[in-house]
Structure 1
Amino acid sequence: MADMKVRLGKDYVYPDVLVDCSKMSGDDYFSTSPIIIVEVLSRATRKTDTTTKLVRYLNLPSLQEYVLIEQDIVSVEVLRKSNNWRTEYYSLDDSVTFESIGLTLTVEEIYDRVDNPDINEFKQPSFPEG
């Protein structure tokens, strides 16, 4: 889901994407048990997403994965509860398995509609020399 709040104690935050597999009624406008949260980093949000939100999200009992996706360069950072929240980095030519939802995507698929120099260069056809 996008545009769904996550309740963190008395506060609410809006992650860019979340998945919550608990039963929610149609009246629910916030999640209390997301299993994966994705934040897209920008200059304006990077500090909050990698510090304040990170600490608060990792304290959610339901959370299995926290994903940080760079907007201006190609870089995917995944923190997994199953890996003691250690950071794993992925770049072009890598595949990322989101264990909590049983989904594997290539980094190229994640950046499919993103316009940044890294992905644009990667998508350029390479011509053999000669």
Structure 2
Amino acid sequence: MDAPDSIATLQQIAERNQVWSRMAAKYGVENPVPPWKTSLDGLCDALDKAACGPEVLTFKERRDEEDALSATVYADLPYPENQLMALAHSLVARGVIDEAELQQRLTAIRARLEA
């Protein structure tokens, strides 16, 4: 991946600063680990072991991109939010998921959470 281009959907999420520590405190949750962290770890493990072609990240590419994006584009977010955003960024940048589909999925998730 060359210089990281901004992805509007992800930038909006980062700007909202809805990080787990703040959300957990707001809703009285004591678990310091976000509920989505296990799914993130599983997805990273699956990508690391997959041989899906150049559009999907190798382990080294994923970690290098995660480090670069976490230190630049998503530097204001804490871990593991910056890891999640870096992975989403890499997958959108590589065309694994397009930004419109990402936005649709996020909208559906938000609707379920607010129901």
TM interval, short-chain normalised: under 0.3
State the TM-score, normalizing by the size of structure 2.
0.24
Higher strand share: 1
State the TM-score, normalizing by the size of structure 1.
0.22
Between Structure 1 and Structure 2, whose CA radius of gyration is higher?
Answer: 1
Higher helix share: 2
